[in-house]
Structures are given as C-alpha cells and as structure tokens.
Amino acid sequence: MIFLEKVEKYIFHYPANVAIICCEFEGRINLMTAAWHTQLSHDPPLYGVSISPKRLTHDIIMSSKEFTVNFLRYDQSRLAAFFGKTSGRDIDKTNVFDVYLMQGKNVKAPILKDGYAAYECKVTDLRKTGDHTFFIGLIVGVHYDPNAFATVLNVQPTLYLGMDNYVTIDLSSKRIHDEKQVKDYLSKWVQGA
C-alpha cells in the first residue's frame, strides 16, 4: 500500500450512493447531486448532507431550512451527472429533459417522482465542516417505490466512484450474514482457540 500524509481530493472511500438534493425557497426550486450524505440517528431519524457554500442549493437550504434526499436507479445515472455538473445559478434545472417532480408532503421542497426512494428533511442543525456545511435534517417523511424493495433494496442504484465514474451493484451477489451465523462462527472460533 502507498501511504499519503497530505491529500487534496480523496476518492478512496468510494463507491457511494448518489443522492439528488432538492430544495425550494419562495417558489425557486433547485436540484443538486450529492455523494456526501449519511444516516445519523434512528431516534430521532436524522440524515445529514455536506454542501459547499458555492452551491445555489446551499443558499436555498440556508433560507428554507428544508431539503429532500432522492435516490436514483442506475438507468437514471445521467441525471446524477447532469444535476452535479450544472448550477441553478445558470439554468433552471427543473426545465431540462426528463425531470418529473412532485410536491413534498411535509416540506415545500419537491420529490423526484421516479426515484426509488426519498427522504423529506427539516434542518435541525448545521456545522461548518472545512470548506463545506454539514446540514443535519430531521426526516419528516419517507417516500419509496414498493416495487424497488423486497425487504431490502431490490433494484440497481446509481453509485458514484469518483472522477465522473458511475457504477451499480450486482444484486445476485447479495449475501446474508445474520446473527445466528455470526454466533456459530464465534462459538467455533472459541472452541478452536
């Protein structure tokens, strides 16, 4: 392994599930691609996203204190590239090719109609994290396509590999490592010790 002490842009932790962050303030709707987002808490349900102050999305969320997190199937990967390579400062992204939005239920920010799932979030806290702002959102509603889930996700999601590369998962590679299996393994390991 090569060791680096100083890094600028680092991509070694990818792949990451791509999300489209939708926001709205005073009738202005915008959409942005994000790879830096994560679940934070079950109770209360919190979800966080890291957004650079350079983005129009940042300004809108600062004002509205709301956003939605939308997940794409792999056949929609070009939307991730499009929303991540264009700024709402230059164009109205809602007016370009096949983008279908619907109104959120508990937030004014829209939902991508044909994503496979979406979280509606209200900002409860934010932190400056280096050159980004980390927005912490309380999930106030979840949308999902029941056909996309068979207990767990059962469609191919859009994942980001860094540097304009996208990939997906092979669902036939799924393995289940349940608690029983882990306990069996542990007891064999203890016996063998």
Q: Does 32 bind ligand FMN (CB under 6 A)?
A: yes
Please check whether residue 96 is in contact with residue 83, taking contact to mean a CB–CB distance below 8 angstroms: no
The Cα 54–Cα 61 span in angstroms is: 12
Residue 56, Cβ density class (10 Å: 0-12 exposed, 13-18 middle, ≥19 buried): middle
Residues 126-165 that bind ligand FMN (CB under 6 A): 132, 160
Pick 91 or 186: Cβ nearer ligand FMN: 91
The Cα 69–Cα 166 span in angstroms is: 19
Q: Does 64 bind ligand FMN (CB under 6 A)?
A: no
Element (H or E) spanning 180, and its range?
A: helix 179-192
Q: Does 71 bind ligand FMN (CB under 6 A)?
A: no
Q: Does 72 bind ligand FMN (CB under 6 A)?
A: no
Q: Does 74 bind ligand FMN (CB under 6 A)?
A: no
Pick 25 or 36: Cβ nearer ligand FMN: 36
**Span from 39-47, 52-60, 102-110, 171-179 in contact with ligand FMN (CB under 6 A):** 52-60
Q: What are φ and ψ of residue 38, in 5° steps?
A: -160, 150
Q: Does 57 bind ligand FMN (CB under 6 A)?
A: yes
CA–CA distances in Å: residue 56 to residues 123, 137, 153: 17, 18, 31
Please check whether residue 169 is in contact with residue 157, taking contact to mean a CB–CB distance below 8 angstroms: yes
Tokens 């939308």, residue located: 70
The Cα 58–Cα 54 span in angstroms is: 7
Lookup: tokens for 36: 């830096």
Pick 51 or 155: Cβ nearer ligand FMN: 51
Pick 43 or 131: Cβ nearer ligand FMN: 131
Pick 89 or 127: Cβ nearer ligand FMN: 89
**Span from 65-73, 82-90, 144-152, 168-176 in contact with ligand FMN (CB under 6 A):** 82-90
**Span from 40-48, 51-59, 173-181, 184-192 in contact with ligand FMN (CB under 6 A):** 51-59
The residues of the shown chain that bind ligand FMN, judged by CB under 6 A, are 18, 30, 32-36, 50-52, 55-57, 80-81, 84-89, 132, 160
